[in-house]
Amino acid sequence: MSPLELDDTTAWLSREELDNARERLPILYVDAVPVRVDERGAVTSVGLLLRASDGEIQRELVSGRVMYHERVRDALLRHLEKDLGPMALPAVPPSPVPFTVAEYFPTPGVTPFHDPRQHAVSLAFVVPVAGDCAPQQDALDLAWLSPEDALAPAVLAEMDRGHGVLLRQALAHLGHPV
């Protein structure tokens, strides 16, 4: 069985088990900022998902849980494929290193990152994608914006839970003025 073919019966928690764990433990997540790069490796555009959540339409980054016995690299690939489609062709390095660690709290204001369901720790990555991307699963749309357009106040205002902060941190990490 390949690392991407985890046995879901042991990797996933039941709804009750997950709710119980969320009340007691931080949960590990990955966040990914998908980017398009030119031949020199400079970022030309940033991919932002559009999702409907709790009756609101919001821009988000690729994000999701790391399953038990799953490598971080494999979790990144799984969530990128889940949100961007199987032809996205992400360039995740063999040993990925996050540009930051984000700590999401159920209590607003502890950090810029908020998740009302749980305390979560997320490793955040910038991931170049070279293939055809199409919104998948519960994503309504995928917009490719220039770094400057992605940092526009109106776009950042559409991002909830601290994803706008992560986007700013990612672009600053890549040398873009924020």
Q: What is the pLDDT of residues 44-93, one digit of tens each?
A: 999 999 998 778 899 999 999 999 899 999 999 999 999 999 999 999 99
What pLDDT band is residue 1 in, cutting at 50, 70 and 90? Answer: very low
Whole-angstrom Cα distance, residue 40 to residue 119?
38
Whole-angstrom Cα distance, residue 46 to residue 146?
6
Tokens linked to 174: 């890549």
Tokens linked to 96: 């990925």
Mean of the per-residue pLDDT values for the chain? 91
Residue 140 has pLDDT above 50, yes or no: yes
pLDDT for residue 137 = 81
| Three-state DSSP state, 112 | coil
**Mean pLDDT of the region 139-154:** 96
Residue 138 has pLDDT above 80, yes or no: yes
Whole-angstrom Cα distance, residue 63 to residue 28?
11
Q: Is residue 94 in some structural domain?
A: yes
105 bridge partner residues:
114
Range of the domain at 103: 8-173
Q: Is residue 13 in some structural domain?
A: yes
Q: Is residue 1 in some structural domain?
A: no
DSSP state of 32: E
Angle subtended at Cα 27 by Cα 24 and Cα 29, rounded to the nearest 5 degrees: 170
pLDDT for residue 25 = 87
The CATH number of the domain holding residue 95 is: 3.90.79.10
The total number of structural domains that make up the chain: 1
Residue 11 has pLDDT above 80, yes or no: no
Whether the pTM exceeds 0.85: the reply is yes
Q: Is residue 3 in some structural domain?
A: no
| Cβ atoms of residues 66 and 159 within 8 Å | no
DSSP state of 8: H
